[in-house]
Structure 1
């Protein structure tokens, strides 16, 4: 019998190893619209050609969360097809904007490998470097995963039909509590937040929630060309530690960015990237995600300024923390927003 490639296990990675992934991926505006609307990210820079034309970039750019997801997807077969869990990213650098019609190619360097207290897995860290069709360096991300060792691989146990199937259990914890000010449930007509509306230390509890399904998981995974079987193969997952398919991490980050886009993204001139992404609990079919953002820093300039926020993602009625990450955005001052020109009257 001939088996398809098993993909690399923990012991197969070597520090300094360079991997050039095939295929590359040309991203079009329909990819951008599909991802942005699927994740509730209605930031005008990604969807509104008139608004985008009035920014320094001059035209629509691809949603960075889509780029993030596609980069990981293209790299998965050669890096994390045998993953137990995506642990998060250390940083993300958006070196150049990515526009509809650009083709992305991904090169990976193995930069970390260590044992854990769990004998069946180890942690592997990679830096993914991304180039466009002109060979320009457009994006870089450092990612960390728990990777199975060959002897404990769920894929091998699945093929051989040995070992017990895993059972998953719901986590529980204390609910997030609101203070008196945060319990106010109304606000004036909504233009989105301008630079002057952000205050360091404030907490924004985002109004929208998003129940995610296996359909969302499948659609976002295949859109990203991600081949990690923990998102796609229910039979295989009976032998995995989670016991059932898990929603892919980049989609969770995308949904979190989307949920927060009404309060954070309506007047941005650029998304400067995310860092310190940590994934703390798996998300399954039917889980509902909510997000709270904390403003960490505001650096004003003449026409716009940089805002740094930490967004935390929860499920189970805010009782389980799923993920957190720091995001930097560039936000217009009110008088310099493209909306001033769009709504002239």
Structure 2
């Protein structure tokens, strides 16, 4: 698997993920409908046109999921036991249809589990930027990670 094991994470390291995605109208509509979110800023073009934004906003929870999803291949693919939590989630600038999102992840802390010797906890700060380099999302995530398997 491409994910890293606990011992491979270094505090302060910044991983610039190569995977990017242009967000489409379909992404936003499907996500909003699938999550039963009727917010007209996301799904009603007429309503959104009359808002201060002048067009639909991409659902912020889609943006959060995309940001973390982009990070998976380089960080946790096959080596995570599970997410423990997300804190300090911010959306400082809106995402619109057609924006291309790129992400980076900074390793904030790494520690071994106090109760299980085969794992530990990594704290990530994920950051997402649009095609103009504007920060559109940030969150701190804690994940339970496997240690390298011993022979």
TM-score (normalizing by structure 1): 0.42
Report 1 or 2 for greater relative contact order, CA contacts < 8 Å, sequence distance ≥ 6.
2
Say if 2:135 is the partner of 1:140: no
Say if 2:24 is the partner of 1:28: yes
Counterpart of 1:72 in 2: which secondary structure?
helix
2:104 aligns with 107
Counterpart of 2:101 in 1: which secondary structure?
strand
Distance 1:100 1:88 in 2: 28
1:56 aligns with 52
| Uncovered stretches (5+) of structure 2, i.e. residues with no partner | none
1:127 aligns with 125
What displacement does 1:54 show?
Answer: 1.9
The counterpart of 2:34, out of the listed 31, 35, 38, is 38
Written as runs of structure 1 = structure 2, the 5 A alignment for 1:236-247 is none
Cα distance, 1:50–1:7 mapped onto 2, change above 3 Å:
same
Distance 1:29 1:84 in 2: 33
Written as runs of structure 1 = structure 2, the 5 A alignment for 1:1-345 is 5-81=1-77, 82-116=79-113, 117-151=115-149
What displacement does 1:7 show?
Answer: 2.1
Q: Render the CA deviation track for 1:235-261: whole Å, top value 9, x for unaligned.
A: xxxxxxxxxxxxxxxxxxxxxxxxxxx
Cα distance, 1:6–1:138 mapped onto 2, change above 3 Å:
closer
What displacement does 1:114 show?
Answer: 1.0
Distance 1:89 1:6 in 2: 23
Q: Render the CA deviation track for 1:285-320: whole Å, top value 9, x for unaligned.
A: xxxxxxxxxxxxxxxxxxxxxxxxxxxxxxxxxxxx
Distance 1:112 1:65 in 2: 25
Distance 1:42 1:120 in 2: 43
Distance 2:2 2:99 in 1: 31
What displacement does 1:124 show?
Answer: 0.2
Distance 2:75 2:132 in 1: 25
| Uncovered stretches (5+) of structure 1, i.e. residues with no partner | 157-345
Distance 1:30 1:56 in 2: 22
TM-score (normalizing by structure 2): 0.94
Tell me which stretches of 4 or more aligned residues in structure 1 moved more than 4 Å. Answer: none
Distance 1:119 1:7 in 2: 19
Q: Which has the larger radius of gyration?
A: 1
